[in-house]
Amino acid sequence: MEGVLITPLKRILHPKGDVLHGMKRSDAGYKGFGEAYFSTVHAGEIKAWKKHLRMTLNLVVPLGCIRFYLYDDRLESPSKGQGLRIELGEDHYARLTVPPGVWLAFEGLGPSVNLLLNVADMEHDPMEVERAEIDAFPLN
């Protein structure tokens, strides 16, 4: 999908506890720093849908597993009308970059804590977020 990146991330094993890469300012998808915050999503729950008008999201799942659903209804996008589904987490440790204008939903898959870090290029601003009901766009 146009502007969407999936970037594999390193997990560095350590006997006392691993180190997991997240985001570097020199990484693909980095658009500046505004805020880093966590969302959690319980097993079987879907948080849907949100679209950011200005924010680029950089999403990392260091714990559990989360399925992301993207839908592109950007007027001039080459991938307009397309959806994307991807699972990230401990078993597929990668960063998902979501540009402004793409609809996003996500579902908790892991039985315990499903933790999402967003390294966003701007601070939270409710004026740049649009919401839609879960049935507004296809989930697959």
State the residues that interact with a second copy by CB under 8 A.
16-26, 32-42, 45-47, 62-63, 108, 113-115, 117, 119, 123-124
Separation of alpha carbons 134 and 9, rounded Å = 30
Least spacing, CB of residue 98 vs a second copy, in Å: 16
- Return the number of the residue (26 or 140) whose C-beta is nearest a second copy: 26
**Sheet strand arrangement including 102-108:** 83-89, 65-72, 102-108, 46-52, 129-131
- Return the number of the residue (15 or 81) whose C-beta is nearest a second copy: 15
Strand partners, 94: 8
Contact between residue 66 and residue 114 where contact means Cβ atoms under 8 Å apart: yes
Least spacing, CB of residue 81 vs a second copy, in Å: 28
Least spacing, CB of residue 3 vs a second copy, in Å: 21
- Return the number of the residue (1 or 105) whose C-beta is nearest a second copy: 105
**Phi and psi, residue 127, nearest 5°:** -70, -15
